[in-house]
Structure 1
Amino acid sequence: MSHYIGNSIQPFTAKAYQTGDFLDVSSEDLKGKWSVLFFYPADFTFVCPTELGDLADNYAEFQKLGVEIYSVSTDTHFTHKAWHDTSDTIGKIRFPMLADPTGKLTRDFGVMIEEEGIAERGTFVIDPEGRIQIVEINAGGIGRNASELLRKIKAAQYIAAHPGEVCPAKWEEGEETLAPSLDLVGKI
């Protein structure tokens, strides 16, 4: 699968660890709600726990928007549990941590670093119909920001609910949007 905006995600199933339990997660679980697949290189590393800790600290805000977070790495669900049990930062996580030891899901989203068998830092926001609305891929040394992800999701949800409107740069919830039209051309 390519990671282009508007494409539907491919069917998948994965083992996951979530707050003391192992569970199965599939593409069916994403239907009907907004979801984030948050790929990261590996458990027990350096930038990854800072990103996942930031998501954990903002998880309640994502939940208020009806968004589920799914972190994904090529580690096993057993490794996710061990990391959750031994790291104070990772211990804060309440969202499902998907295991992709075969790399199938990581490859389907086009973020596998083949030479290393690990994922790029890829973020995919998926709408309730299973279509990709936001894609962000960062180099390994560049961590992501949960607050900026929240802002982008609010914009995506706004335009989904308000056809014909668009959100300008740095748009924040409650600010003015734009309604593209012939009269607006050249006036911005």
Structure 2
Amino acid sequence: MKFPWLADNKKELSSALGILEKDEAVALRASFLVDPNGIIRMVQANDLSVGRNPEEVLRILDALQTDELCPCNWHSGEDTIDVAKEVA
């Protein structure tokens, strides 16, 4: 999987995104999923003491790509929620 990496040496981006830990002057551990139109579809920001879970980010990416309603703990290949059927 290819994805861009960037450096924020001046801390401008992390400050603008609201993930700059001002007391420590470092960015929180954050992951973003951005669609092809530049719209942020997912933000996950953890305290500095908490690591990220790449599998969860990939699960969310799969869910976003379904364009359907996915239930809690959904994984690729599982059923999505048919709202019309649930309401009927």
Quick one: higher RCO (CA 8 Å, sep 6+), 1 or 2? 1
Q: So what's the TM-score if we normalise by structure 2?
A: 0.87
**In the alignment, residue 127 of structure 1 is paired with which amino acid?**
D
Cα deviations by residue, 1:11-64 (Å, 9 ceiling, x for unpaired): xxxxxxxxxxxxxxxxxxxxxxxxxxxxxxxxxxxxxxxxxxxxxxxxxxxx1x
Query: Match for residue 48 of structure 2?
Result: 140
Query: Match for residue 166 of structure 1?
Result: 69
Q: How many percent identity over aligned positions? A: 35
Poorly superposed stretches of 4+, deviation over 2 Å: none
Shift, 1:172, TM fit: 1.0
| Aligned: 1:131 with 2:39 | yes
| Aligned: 1:178 with 2:86 | no
The gaps in structure 1 that reach 5 residues or longer are 1-62, 71-95, 160-164
The gaps in structure 2 that reach 5 residues or longer are none
Query: Match for residue 103 of structure 1?
Result: 11
RMSD in angstroms over aligned alpha carbons? Answer: 1.7
In structure 2, C-alpha distance between the alignment counterparts of 1:175 and 1:105, rounded to whole Å: 37
In structure 2, C-alpha distance between the alignment counterparts of 1:173 and 1:184, rounded to whole Å: 21
User: Which structure: greater strand fraction?
Assistant: 1
Shift, 1:116, TM fit: 2.0
In structure 1, C-alpha distance between the alignment counterparts of 2:50 and 2:62, rounded to whole Å: 23
Q: So what's the TM-score if we normalise by structure 1?
A: 0.43
